[in-house]
């Protein structure tokens, strides 16, 4: 376990899954985590983990790259989710560098890992800077592949209870409609006049039964406010999208948490991009380097 501090924030990070186990503000933990590191191997719903090699869903676990077809493990209905059955969230990352306020973790995924081509080396750096947590990712490969890294932290700015009264605002004027398997239809649909319009502040539970598990096309920042304490979280990212999941499928029989105990804002490329040429590309080639970052800033 690695402990980080900036004065305003305190965090714990685990090498297993590169997990953000806790993030405390004024002594209140605002993320969902498991008390025992061993529990992440059996009871986790990706709590705080870095997911990959490809975050989110790939239809039927299949894609074609440079004329070669690849088959991935299917672990979410008919589709592949978060890199497959043994994705990056289930790997022991190596501590590459650390300081009192920052840690860099590294993972090498061999050619053929979970069906993906190329030997991929990925890093994630957690940095606490005053009232902000910054995550920075890199990846390189020795053969053409696809990559989409994100962090799957569940937030609860009240430190417990139901998150449906949290107020969300996203500078996102389009979202990705999905089919029954939660695979994008390919359309980038306008949010105006739909339950997916968060361009003005709206309580998470106010519409759609809070059954959100959708990718939004980001045009700017995200802001969430917990009305009881007034704690606000502002999210900025270099990524083109964010998967907003309201936690409606959390199962207290399998984890310590019930539905709507936390929400996710998974900054990332779009789901199923390897099968959607009009989406921003997730192809990585030798000699190239993926670099992305996301910052979570907390204020009252």
Q: Which of the following is catalytic: 82, 152, 214, 269? A: 152
**Is 269 a catalytic site residue?**
no
CA proximity to 28, closest of 139, 197, 184, 156: 156
200's tokens: 């003005």
Instruction: Write the CA distances from 155 to 107, 115, 259, integer angstroms.
Output: 25, 31, 13
Based on the residue annotation, tell me whether 226 is a catalytic residue of this protein.
no
- Catalytic residue among 82, 166, 239, 266, which? 266
Task: Report the catalytic residues.
Answer: 152, 266
């Amino acid at each position: 376990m690695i402990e980080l501090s900036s004065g305003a924030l305190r965090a714990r990070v685990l090498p297993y899954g590169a997990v953000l186990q806790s993030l405390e503000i004024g002594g209140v933990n605002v993320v969902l985590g498991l008390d025992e590191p061993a529990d992440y191997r059996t009871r986790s719903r990706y709590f705080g983990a870095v997911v990959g090699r490809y975050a989110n869903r790939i239809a039927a676990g299949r894609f074609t790259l440079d004329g070669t077809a690849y088959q991935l493990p299917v672990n979410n209905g008919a589709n592949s989710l978060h890199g497959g059955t043994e994705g990056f969230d289930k790997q022991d990352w190596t501590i590459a560098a650390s300081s009192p306020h920052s840690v860099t973790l590294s993972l090498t995924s061999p050619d053929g890992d979970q069906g993906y081509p190329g030997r991929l080396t990925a890093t994630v750096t957690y940095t606490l800077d005053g009232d902000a947590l910054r995550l920075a990712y890199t990846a390189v490969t020795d053969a053409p592949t696809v990559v989409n890294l994100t962090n799957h932290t569940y937030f609860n700015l009240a430190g417990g209870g139901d998150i449906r009264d949290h107020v969300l605002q996203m500078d996102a004027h389009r979202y990705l409609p999905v089919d029954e398997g939660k695979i994008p239809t390919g359309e980038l649909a306008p949010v105006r006049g739909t339950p997916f319009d968060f361009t003005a502040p709206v309580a998470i539970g106010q519409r759609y039964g809070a059954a959100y598990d959708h990718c939004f096309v980001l045009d700017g920042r995200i802001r969430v406010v917990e009305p009881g304490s007034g704690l606000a979280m502002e999210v900025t990212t270099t990524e083109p999208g964010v998967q907003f999941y309201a936690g409606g499928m959390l199962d207290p029989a399998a984890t310590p948490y019930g539905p709507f105990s936390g929400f996710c804002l998974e900054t990332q490329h779009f789901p199923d991009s390897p099968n959607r040429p009009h989406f921003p590309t997730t192809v990585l080639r030798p000699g190239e380097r993926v670099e992305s970052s996301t910052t979570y800033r907390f204020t009252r």
